[in-house]
Structure 1
């Protein structure tokens, strides 16, 4: 290795990129815009009964009971609904991602659901609250779906949908919920207050 060269990171290795804010890029499915009915974060100033703050309407479902995490596909050209799936989750959607024929969703209570976009049926559900609870973000990279929560960077197996921890204790210092992005095979997110690049090469 010559002067100034960097060694290639090992599998799952983390490269520090300094204290920079990564760009949050949203991906749109080519066939349909996938919408969700989330359990939304309280807007700034909404408060939770704290002195000097007021509660604003609309930051959570109006009804205390009923379906959560309803997924709706909308034609991006016409704006018309194509289909919807009631996922029967106990909380709203924190993040969505598409890999092949499957749409992955994670809820704010740590529920995972996977929808087959051809049959429009939920084909898998699981409790992943050990790695993801609260707000989350997901992307697709190297044939797998990755997610990040306030505490953990994790990955789903593309066939079994089993969840694996990629980086534990990532504890990103986000002020608007966790985010992650992908560039040239590397996954970018925060660990603490530092922007990091994670090189994970799943064997599936």
Structure 2
């Protein structure tokens, strides 16, 4: 002071610290609808911090997606900056769904040329689905063939998977006609000596 009295020294400590948490941003959509039976590739996320900058490479992801099984899956993204500040956890929901229609494959030819007045047996069809597998036993055929009446008959095949996805209708034409040539049988000998 003016008299020369010195105050007791006082010290202030200033700690410059980082208390701001990083920010995680999802790439792609959330939720995601993903087709069952196809490979799932996650769109990922980015992370940034006010001090460390881009720290995307430090993101940890927990959870998994089984793209072979219909259901809902969660992927969780976490990251910390160099000061130990943890970002708010971000979660992506992945719905593995079956929107694909089954496929019907005809067995045998199409059209079928069938001989009139001979028994007809439909060679049938097979059906497969990405989620349900073999649906051949669930095919619903419609239509009929009268092998005793010449004409063109249409057989129709339909199937629906467990998620109510209907396969495109498949048809087969059966053409019933007489294609057998008549047979001539000689009466008597084939060579005749005639006076």
TM range (shorter): under 0.3
TM-score (norm 1): 0.16
Find the structure with the greater CA-based Rg. 2
The structure that is strand-richer by fraction is 1
TM-score normalised over the length of structure 2: 0.17
